[in-house]
Amino acid sequence: MKELVKKAHIWMDEYMKSFYEEDADVMLGIRTKEVHTGYVTSYAKELAGHLQLPEHDVQLAELIGLFHDVGRFRQWTLYRTFADAYSEDHAELGLKVIQELAFFDELSADDKDIMLFAIGNHNKKVIAPAPDKRHLLFAKIIRDADKLDIYRVLEPYLLGEKAVAFSRQAVNYDKEAFAPGFVEKFCRAEQVDYTEIQTLNDRILVRLMWAYDINFAWTMRRIREKGYLLRVEERLPQTELVREGIARLNKYVDDKCNSADLPMDL
């Protein structure tokens, strides 16, 4: 597995660079996902180590992190957008790319299946029913690693012109507006489908809702240490309902951070 991981890193580096162009706008998207890939790969590996997984499984988590967004590069080239709603599901596109790779066949059948399941579910509203606890574990690891870095990626789009430009789904940029029922779902600690987003505030509030989908205390501690949630909270209109939802969220975050991630028995 160690040699396969080395080979995968070399391939992925060459693959990402194959999308380089002279156009600065194109390169902004490619470089954003290139850097994101590096962070998520590192986080997935670190989280797997924190969970005291065997070396083989730490390397498998690293592979999943490395390839989790491989579909983004083809998506950006074909559609010039990272919005799945305006192109195609980037996880499903990534699965097609992965299965075209010759060295993918060097994985065991079980590792292949886990990798495809985890990557296929890393961007979904909820994880599909898993065949077993190993599949579920790796899906949770990559979802946490991905969200941890997505907070960093999206920080520049919290306010101002960048926020409006980024939020293609938002049709209402009123600083006080939310879609009907959106804040109520936040107060109930629910997740939403991105098709429900109607305003810029909805898109910002979704970032707080993600916290309820964090699986491990390790991840939540990193999110809190970096101050991501606090800066999102500060960008929202402080209505009574929003404050109620934030109070509930902060208690949940505290409880999660004070909990323990037990070593995985697989």
CB 155 within 8 A of CB 231: yes
**Residue range(s) in the chain whose domain bears CATH number 1.10.3210.10:** 2-152
What are the two backbone dihedrals, phi and then psi, of residue 25, each rounded to the nearest 5 degrees?
Answer: -65, -40
Residue 87 tokens read as: 């192109």
Residue-level pLDDT at 161: 47
CA distances from 244 to 71, 78, 185, 249 (A): 38, 43, 12, 9
Query: Would you state the pLDDT for residue 172?
Result: 52
Q: What is the pLDDT of residue 248?
A: 97
**DSSP structural state of residue 246:** H
Q: How confident is the model at residue 225, as a pLDDT?
A: 96
Question: What is the C-alpha separation between 126 and 14, in angstroms, rounded?
Answer: 32
Closest CA to 12 of 76, 66, 73: 66
Q: Which residues of the chain have pLDDT under 70?
A: 158-176, 264-266
Per the CB < 8 A criterion, the answer to whether 222 and 148 are in contact is yes
pLDDT, residue 164, reads: 47
**pLDDT tens readout for residues 185-195:** 999 999 888 77
String of DSSP letters for 41-104: HHHHHHHHHHTT--HHHHHHHHHHHHHTTHHHHHHHHHHS---GGGS--HHHHHHHHHTT-GGG
Are the CB atoms for 45 and 9 separated by under 8 Å? no
Q: Which CATH architecture has domain 2-152?
A: Orthogonal Bundle (1.10)
